Structure 1
Amino acid sequence: MTQKLNSLSVAQLSVMIQSGAVDPVEVAEATFDAIAAHADPAVFISLLRDRAMSEAGAASRRIRDGRSLGLLDGIPVAWKDLFDITGLATTAGSKVLAHTAPALDDADVVSHLKAAGMVAIGRVNMSEFAFSGLGINPHYGTPKNPRSTDVPRIPGGSSSGSGVAVAAGLVPVSIGTDTGGSVRIPAAFNGIVGYKATRGRYSMRGVFPLAQSLDALGPLCRTVQDAVWIDAAMRGLSAPSIGRGTLQGLTIVIPQNVVFDDVQSGVSDAFEAATARLAKAGVKIVRFAIPAFDEILDLTAKHGALVTAEAYALHQQRLAGPEAADMDPRVVTRTRLGAKITLVDYLKIITSRTRLIGEVAGLVDAGALIAFPTVAHVAPPMEPLKTDDELFVKTNMRTLRNTLLGNFLDWCGVSIPCGMGEAGMPVGFLLSALPARDEQLLSAALCAEAVIRGE
């Protein structure tokens, strides 16, 4: 029964809990048993057994008494180590924050999911300060990608533990953050669904930032249906309002520049096979270049990265003091690049960003979605990336390239598994929509998911 429970989606588990086939306390106990039995200790940074059993017990009593809070009552959830949890220091995957004052309150989204009846299991690992797309963490260890069958492979970051916890069957959902791809990349590498909402869709109170102009949140889970349910709860709604769309009349734009550069053949094949299935199902596929993509990369090369500028402003005092010696040297090096970004550079990036968002909105029809591979390659082997700094930087940039475009343009996006690439590793199909069109995106993704997966 434990293995069965841990392999279920949120929706499947909800049916069992609400029908009385399984008790929330039994689910919580099975979850902790699965975590204890899992061979990789680097997935979770901290567990919340006392809180979880209390919340599961409360859910059990409500459901027995006919007072269920709804679809998510009794469902386990894990949290990236950026969200405030009452009584715990928020460490952001870093040693230097381990002794900071415990949070006095839950982050708003933590409170919202608690109000929906969800059971907080613990906080999961991540790239230190969320500043890498690979998921390697020298302080708490690096979670191993559970989809690998040859050598240990990276989980993707920065929401590394979130992706692995779901893919390994430890929890049905984990909540991550996404500043340049940190939800969608681990979703793609681990073969699960990852939804990045439009920035500002959820409250950010109690969430440790990286770059506030780019930071967004979203769930990593097993299905788009799960993401829709979690999205509603994260906004404080008692039930989702997003309906299932239709593929007939849907237009998907496939950009012809940047996103397919240096793509692995297995990734390209899996993506194009999914595209062909969508076309056969009635989706209109159009292909053209989006000039803004090239300009975003040019802006970064000329003026620096927006995320780096804002991360440096956030960590400037820490980098100048003794704490820097206890940080990941790669995070220190990358963040210190922000010192070279002048105020003039920053303002040019911000001004250009506003213009480019408008230009793309004029180029892409408001009712259309945009699609391309979430990442141009599958999850690479872990060990070489731990020791080779040059390889790390090159791989990190390549890993983040496709997803960061959506963050810069304020898009929402959902990564859906679409097949296997090199070494039998999962490939992600990234569906995106223009800013604040999350309902349109999720509605279309609900009906497109099975086609994209090839089911």
Structure 2
Amino acid sequence: MTTEPRSIAQLSVLLQSGALDPVALAQETLAAIRSHPDAAIFTFLLEERANAEAEAARRRLREGRSRGALDGVPVAWKDLFDIAGLPTTAGSRVLKDAAPAGRDAAVVQALAGAGMVSVGRVNMSEFAFSGLGINPHYGTPRNPASPAGEHRIPGGSSSGSGVAVAAGLVPVSIGTDTGGSVRIPAAFNGIVGYKATRGRYAMDGVFPLAKSLDSLGPLCRTVQDAILIDAAMRGLPAAGPIPRRNVADLSFVIPETVFFDGAEPEVVAAFEAGVTQLSRAGARIRREAFPEFSAIFDLMAKHGALVTAEAFVLHRARIKGAAAAEMDPRVVKRTLLGEKITVADYLETLEAREKLTAAFEARLGPKDLLLSPTLPHVAPAIQPLLDDEDLFFQTNGKTLRNTLVGNFLDWCGVSLPCGTGAGGMPVGLLVSAPRNGDDRLLAAAAAVEGALG
């Protein structure tokens, strides 16, 4: 956009008051995307659809028939949500000639029903199978926080979503999160990312990675925005004001297991500064070891990862056939690891997952939330990762490490900006809650956001 980045709430006030016209906003948004120097952020512009939806929003607002706070607000979609009339390519050349979707994905329909204006599809890691956001087919979006002359990674797999919001092109983009793919780009790009509990939203029309882990969520500028989008994605009436939580009423546990291993000192310092602010505001904070977290990685070492097993089954025909030559070889290599995972391995992992989830939830107090660094490091430069495959896989594993714990244990989580680390790059603070604690999580995240300033 041509002005400073604006939140959904800011745009809504202007749209509802008549100070901003939905058609003008849509055209401004599309023009800003077309003129942006980074052509790798968006993979497809929905110009005809955007203009039609903006025209409809204009009529409703002029006639006093507003559908609520989201009416006329632009939204972008990760390239694995079905959009009627277009093939869903999931960041891959393999699917570029696939049959067009017959209808929108359920959540695309839901946000259209709330009056939102879909302006385009954004880039992603191929088949959502990397936390780094590198895509050799459609380019890799540059992290807008990169120092001058550098190309830092955007984080993945919702890479374009994170960059589109951070660059101010759209106020919100909808992503998916199987091992951290909403929270990682949110943290790397210095914005808000909300991963909902798996199953909170309808998954019809969403290209999967691993159905036992896949979840959805918005990347946006504020927690208030995430709350507005959450209600609309569930088909609920427009969300009201946040049920304000006082930070002094909140209880947090900082995990001493896994999350800080090998973390950059600057990341730890930024996180601890945030913890100090919350403590001064009256939050109750304690630190505790969680053996369940280490057990997850022991389980993966023994039986393989759930995501790898399920991705292999999903893509087996592709990576065993001619299509493999058109795919990112790093995606092929990682997916092929699933061939070694037996049915017994998979079932034993699922059984252990249930036990570990129950053990973790029993360890928490009824009001406890998890507080941790979203990631152990800031966004690294892209070129060394392209030059060294071993470094690519090592960095990918470390990038996914903290967030995948939440997917395995079915958490919901919100990553919030929390200062900067090495090179002035953004650091994320992650607030997490056990499964189905989304409403409590969002209210708490709003209070944390306020305390962090």
Scaled by the length of structure 1, the TM-score of the pair is: 0.98
Determine if the alignment matches structure 1 residue 8 to structure 2 residue 6: yes
Q: Which amino acid letter does the alignment assign opposite residue 257 of structure 1? A: T
Partner Cα separation in structure 1 for residue 249 and residue 42 of structure 2: 43
The corresponding residue for 1:125 is: 123
CA contact 2:175–2:216 (8 Å) conserved in 1: yes
Q: Deviations over 1:122-154 (max 9, x none)?
A: 100000000000000000000000011141100
The corresponding residue for 2:439 is: 439
The corresponding residue for 1:270 is: 270
- Alpha-carbon deviation of 1:239? 1.4
The corresponding residue for 2:367 is: 367
The corresponding residue for 2:138 is: 140
The corresponding residue for 1:212 is: 211
Give the SS at the match of 1:3: coil
- Alpha-carbon deviation of 1:248? 1.8
CA contact 2:247–2:451 (8 Å) conserved in 1: no
The corresponding residue for 1:425 is: 425
Report which stretch shifted further, 212-221 or 232-241: 232-241
Partner Cα separation in structure 2 for residue 359 and residue 366 of structure 1: 14
Q: Which amino acid letter does the alignment assign opposite residue 262 of structure 2? A: D
Partner Cα separation in structure 2 for residue 50 and residue 244 of structure 1: 40
The corresponding residue for 1:325 is: 325
The corresponding residue for 1:78 is: 76
Give the SS at the match of 1:316: helix
Partner Cα separation in structure 2 for residue 123 and residue 139 of structure 1: 15
Partner Cα separation in structure 2 for residue 336 and residue 39 of structure 1: 36
Determine if the alignment matches structure 1 residue 58 to structure 2 residue 62: no
The corresponding residue for 1:25 is: 23
Partner Cα separation in structure 1 for residue 199 and residue 338 of structure 2: 24
The corresponding residue for 1:259 is: 259
The corresponding residue for 1:336 is: 336
The corresponding residue for 1:174 is: 173
Partner Cα separation in structure 2 for residue 198 and residue 246 of structure 1: 23
Partner Cα separation in structure 2 for residue 396 and residue 320 of structure 1: 24
Partner Cα separation in structure 2 for residue 419 and residue 399 of structure 1: 18
Give the SS at the match of 2:218: strand
Q: Deviations over 1:305-355 (max 9, x none)?
A: 110000001111111111111000000000000000011110111000000
CA contact 1:366–1:434 (8 Å) conserved in 2: no
CA contact 1:135–1:160 (8 Å) conserved in 2: yes
Partner Cα separation in structure 2 for residue 35 and residue 24 of structure 1: 16
The corresponding residue for 1:116 is: 114
CA contact 2:155–2:188 (8 Å) conserved in 1: yes
Q: Which amino acid letter does the alignment assign opposite residue 424 of structure 1? A: G
- Alpha-carbon deviation of 1:450? 2.2
- Alpha-carbon deviation of 1:387? 2.0
- Alpha-carbon deviation of 1:451? 1.8
The corresponding residue for 2:230 is: 231
Q: Which amino acid letter does the alignment assign opposite residue 48 of structure 1? A: L
Partner Cα separation in structure 2 for residue 315 and residue 92 of structure 1: 12
Q: Deviations over 1:194-222 (max 9, x none)?
A: 00000000000000000000000000000
Partner Cα separation in structure 2 for residue 216 and residue 435 of structure 1: 12
Which of 39, 42, 50 aligns to 1:41? It is 39
CA contact 1:93–1:127 (8 Å) conserved in 2: yes
- Alpha-carbon deviation of 1:249? 2.5
The RMSD of aligned alpha carbons is 0.8
Partner Cα separation in structure 1 for residue 51 and residue 261 of structure 2: 49
Give the SS at the match of 1:416: strand
Partner Cα separation in structure 2 for residue 264 and residue 450 of structure 1: 26
Q: Deviations over 1:5-57 (max 9, x none)?
A: x6100000000000000100010011011111211000001000000000000
Partner Cα separation in structure 2 for residue 244 and residue 97 of structure 1: 45
Partner Cα separation in structure 1 for residue 423 and residue 401 of structure 2: 22
- Alpha-carbon deviation of 1:113? 0.1
Partner Cα separation in structure 2 for residue 13 and residue 149 of structure 1: 29
Task: Give the unaligned 5+ runs of structure 1.
Answer: none
CA contact 1:183–1:220 (8 Å) conserved in 2: yes
Scaled by the length of structure 2, the TM-score of the pair is: 0.99
Give the SS at the match of 2:175: strand
Q: Which amino acid letter does the alignment assign opposite residue 414 of structure 1? A: V
Q: Give % identity.
A: 63
Give the SS at the match of 1:194: strand
The corresponding residue for 2:94 is: 96
The corresponding residue for 2:396 is: 396
